[in-house]
Amino acid sequence: MVKRVAFAVPGDLATPTGGYAYDRRMIAELQKLGWQVDVIELGDGFPRPSPATKTAAHDALAAVAKDCPIVIDGLAFGVLPEAAKALHDGHLLLALVHHPLALETGLPPADAAAFKVSEYDALAAAHGVVVTSPSTSKLLIDDYDVPPDLVTVACPGTDRGTMAKGSSDGIVRLLAVGSVVPRKGYDVLIQALTPLAGRAWRLTIAGDRTRDEAAAMQLDAEIVGSGLVGQIEVLGALPADRIDALYAASDVFVLPSRFEGYGMAFAEALAYGLPVVGTTAGAIPDTVPPNAGVLIEPNDIKALTRTLRMLIDNPKERLWFAAGAREAGAALPTWQDSAKLLAGAIEALA
């Protein structure tokens, strides 16, 4: 008997973010495991869809056969509480939460509060919830009253990459990978690097610049204002092979995120054996052990400067953390491991 599941996604599944990459890979891995996956497109504009989009999304979900489980990406699920309640009795709903909508950096307090109420109500109508980290599981259990027995943790898988060779010209290559949005903390990174302008380093930032045009413009202005134009390159979203090449050629991965529901780029850096500089926010400590990098408090510019100075100036420190990163990377789950967990959560709905 063919196992079948509907996988509902907002917007364009090809969008170059970690959340969409997770969805794409899980769909592919479920298919390899013998599942028939019907992708349901919920429309654009999430998590702020128009009333017409919300109505169309409800209709698309309601049209799924009642014996077919539905996995709904949290970017949409969290703002569809009415649809979730209406579908609860007749359909099998599995919410896939990458991170709570209310925790996106830069939201006005009223918007954050509204997102929390909406997602709280939607989750109350779910038959199961999949999260991408133990940290997010705890958040939903503690702050959203999701019953622990309904939650499955399926961390993103990580492909095993070639170990990074790093630079050979005396210039320390720093790499940051992530969409240009306030949550990633690029403003903090630029401020932390400014006092280190006289040292031999280069920073490459690779991430989608279209999600928040104001943040992208601000980043450009901050780089110009810092006087670091010659030492920082912003490349925008890149194909997978270009990202792989950047990891392989770098010496240190750095991303001072203000929150991460998992942080796939951190795991990818470990898989390449790169020392990691990040923060203690969200799920990052779940991924990066102490011997693989340095985690500081979010928004601590001085601590970030000290850490980067230490790694730029001390090759032995970089080598020590690189050894820890290789060890941590080897222990990360594969995508097949993660897909099996998701498949188990889907089967449990029945």
Tell whether 162 is covered by a domain.
no
Amino acid at 294: V
Please indicate, yes or no, if residue 163 is contained in any of the structural domains.
no
CA torsion sign for 58, 63, 67, 69 is: negative
Cα–Cα distances in Å, from 319 out to 106, 203, 327? 36, 19, 13
Residues 152 and 176 reside in one and the same domain: no
Do 240 and 227 lie in a common domain?
Answer: yes
Q: Give pLDDT tens digits for 105-142.
A: 999 999 999 999 999 999 999 999 999 999 999 999 99
Element (H, E) at 59: helix 51-62
- The verdict on residue 278 lying in a domain is yes
Q: What is the reported pLDDT for 1?
A: 63
Cis peptide before 47 (omega within 30 of 0): yes
State whether 138 and 201 are in the same domain: no
Query: Do both 317 and 343 map to the same domain?
Result: no
Residues 183 and 292 in one domain: yes
- For the stretch 71-111, pLDDT in tens is 999 999 999 999 999 999 999 999 999 999 999 999 999 99
The SS3 call for residue 306 is helix
Q: Are residues 153 and 198 in the same domain?
A: no
215 domain residue, yes or no: yes
Tokens of 38: 């019907």
For residue 181, the enclosing domain spans 172-330
pLDDT tens digits, residue range 15-53? 988 899 999 999 999 999 999 999 999 999 999 999 999
Residue 143 falls inside a structural domain: yes
**Residue 264 maps to a domain:** yes
Q: How far apart are CA 81 and CA 99, in angstroms?
A: 17
Same domain, 337 and 253: no
Average pLDDT over residues 219-247: 95
Please tell me whether the overall predicted TM-score, pTM, comes out greater than 0.75 for this model.
yes
The domain that holds 317 is classified in CATH as 3.40.50.2000
Same structural domain, 20 and 123: yes
Inside any domain, residue 72 = yes
CA dihedral 139, 143, 145, 146 (to 10 degrees): -20
Host H or E run for residue 256: none
- Does 152 lie in the same domain as 20? yes
Q: Which helix (H) or strand (E) holds 292?
A: none
pLDDT-derived band at 301 (thresholds 50, 70, 90) equals very high
167 occurs within a structural domain: no
Helix (H, G, I), strand (E, B) or coil at 216: helix
Task: Please say whether the beta carbons of 48 and 104 come within 8 A.
Answer: no
pLDDT of residue 54: 97
Let me know whether 324 and 187 are in one domain.
Answer: yes
- If asked whether residues 306 and 230 sit together in one domain, one would say yes
Same domain, yes or no, for 70 and 194? no
Q: 96 forms bridges with which residues in the sheet? A: 73, 130
The answer to whether the CB of 146 falls within 8 A of the CB of 129 is: yes
Domains identified in the chain, total number? 2
